[in-house]
Amino acid sequence: MRIAVITPALETRIGFLRQAMESVQKQTLAPVTHCVVFDYQREGLSATRNRAVRAVPDVEWLAFLDDDDLFDKDHLETLAAASGDADIVYSDYQTIGLPRSCKRPIGPFDLSRLRAGNYIPATALVSRELFDRLGGFRSNVALEDWDFWLRAAELGARFRFVNKKTWSYRLHGDQLTWQARKSLKLLAVRYLPIQPVAHGAYHCYMALKRICRINPDDKPLI
């Protein structure tokens, strides 16, 4: 199985990147290449990931790893073993760094749940053929990975969940770097309704308002 690891990076996070690269080097199933692309122009995650994918040789699978996260040593081997006839394989994770009171729950693929909100991490194994069919990540959306999963599901992509923690999500003070503040404001103002609204969605909207400093007079457009 030919796998390329794809890492978008910021020059301000070299220390984190070094650790991420070391975690790739320790894989029990070695990738064909680890492509790291720096976002010097601040184009965002979507454009940087897409540039990295275009730079890799002919591979069957793409394994995404952000520059501040880490693979466990058996991450690629575990996901590859579970791939079978799947197009997207994802697994559970642990958090490192700053303390966190709760972790986003992950579970088997459920289209209804996915449409209600993203629960599939970007740190997944994705078929190169599927990635090319979708044209990669789109830059004109608020949450590029959620958009990618939804479009993949519409194409009939097969998702597989591995109920094992195989990578680490790092919590740190530079979490809102990739133009996320702008993207979250777009999401909160345009896509999260106030009435009627589920209890969880309302709290999500209010949290985004606090994070993005949205004007209280702004109203969702739907």
Which residues are 70's β-sheet partners?
Answer: 168
Same domain? 9 vs 66:
yes
Tell me, yes or no, whether 149 lies in a domain.
yes
Same domain? 102 vs 193:
no
Tell me, yes or no, whether 90 lies in a domain.
yes
Per the CB < 8 A criterion, the answer to whether 189 and 213 are in contact is no
Tell me, yes or no, whether 220 lies in a domain.
no
Q: What is the pLDDT of residues 9-46, one digit of tens each?
A: 999 999 999 999 999 999 999 999 999 999 999 899 99
Same domain? 121 vs 188:
no
For residue 142, what is the domain's CATH number?
A: 3.90.550.10
Same domain? 99 vs 184:
no
Quote the pLDDT of residue 97.
84
Quote the pLDDT of residue 105.
86
Which residue segment(s) compose the domain that 118 sits in? 3-171
Q: Look up the pTM and report it.
A: 0.80
Q: What is the pLDDT of residues 132-180, one digit of tens each?
A: 999 999 998 889 999 999 999 999 999 999 999 999 999 886 655 444 5
pLDDT above 50 (res 216): no
Same domain? 117 vs 161:
yes
CA distances from residue 3 to 29, 32, 73, 88, 146 in whole angstroms, order as listed: 9, 6, 15, 13, 22
Same domain? 28 vs 132:
yes
Same domain? 162 vs 189:
no
Tell me, yes or no, whether 40 lies in a domain.
yes
Tell me, yes or no, whether 116 lies in a domain.
yes
Same domain? 42 vs 123:
yes
Same domain? 98 vs 193:
no
Q: Exposed/middle/buried for 106, CB within 10 Å: 0-12, 13-18, 19+? A: middle
Quote the pLDDT of residue 180.
52
Per the CB < 8 A criterion, the answer to whether 170 and 84 are in contact is no
Quote the pLDDT of residue 160.
98
Q: Which residues contact 116 (CB under 8 A, 6 or more apart)?
A: none
Q: What is the pLDDT of residues 111-122, one digit of tens each?
A: 999 999 999 999
Same domain? 56 vs 119:
yes
Quote the pLDDT of residue 206.
43
Q: Is 152 left (phi over 0), alpha (psi -120 to 50) or beta?
A: alpha
Total number of domains in the chain: 2
